[in-house]
Amino acid sequence: MPKLFGYLSVYFVISWFCLVLGWSFPAQAAIYPSPQLEQQVLEVLRKHPEAIIESVQGYQQQQQQQINQSREVFLQDLKVNPQAIIANSPTTGTIAAKTVLIEFSDFQCPYCAEAHQKLRDLLSKHQQDVTLVYKHFPLPSHAEAVPAAKAAWAANQQGKFWQYHDQLFTNQKQLGESLYIDVAKKLNLDMDKFNRDRLLADADIKQDIQLAKTLGIPGTPFFVMNGQNYSGAIQVSEIESQLATAN
């Protein structure tokens, strides 16, 4: 197979291309495409390589349109009914504040740890102006991201999310079961409840992850503020500038 297909299987490429060209896909090819069918497709690609490029571009445009629509709906909902977006997510600051700052974060992400202290400084100066909302977005590449998120979720059930959150970021290099237990004990959490609640955290965390995927969020940390545009690389200074405009 040409390098163009990379890691894609022969089956996937042939079936996908048949759909693009409007060809019927033989029943026997469901197991593996015949050499004749494979050669037909490869011959078309050799003569018309632009076909697959145009198809991929069209697919990408369609996906981006869906993301843009989802973001518009989300921003409208955030403006009209912010509490529905906040739901059961941890918040800090003044709930009545007219500026809602939503953070999608991962406890094992070094960039999230870097943003952590800056956000604390921001809130210390603008506590009356901003409601910070935490949404879990543990990345698949971080082995401890999900266990840490579950531990923080369990701490939230006892009203200690932000204290636990701070400890996880402060001790990010030590993420693991020993740290989760030690922090819970340090915060005087009911350990039986803490351990039970960790087992119940999946649904809410998955809901946050699904929201992040629906919005096309590429990584962490990622911030959304009221009706402002999205920016994954937003700096606290930018947030303050937007705050000044909003207020």
pLDDT at residue 9 greater than cutoff 50: no
φ and ψ of 32, to 5 deg: -165, 135
Name the strand (E) or helix (H) holding 145: helix 145-156
What single-letter DSSP state applies at residue 6?
T
Q: What is the pLDDT of residues 73-121, one digit of tens each?
A: 888 888 888 888 899 999 988 766 778 889 999 999 999 998 888 888 8
Task: Determine what percent of the chain falls in helix, strand and coil, rounding each to the nearest 5.
Answer: 60, 10, 30
Q: Give the predicted TM-score (pTM) of the model.
A: 0.73
CATH architecture of 79-246: 3-Layer(aba) Sandwich (3.40)
**209-237 pLDDT, tens per residue?**
999 999 888 889 888 886 665 555 556 67
Q: CB-based contacts of 13: which residues, under 8 Å, 6+ apart?
A: 1, 5, 41
Contact predicate 129/97, CB 8 Å: yes
Nearest CA to 89 out of 146, 165, 147, 175 is that of 165
Domain ranges of the chain: 3-48, 79-246
DSSP per position, 174-190:
G-SHHHHHHHHHHTT--
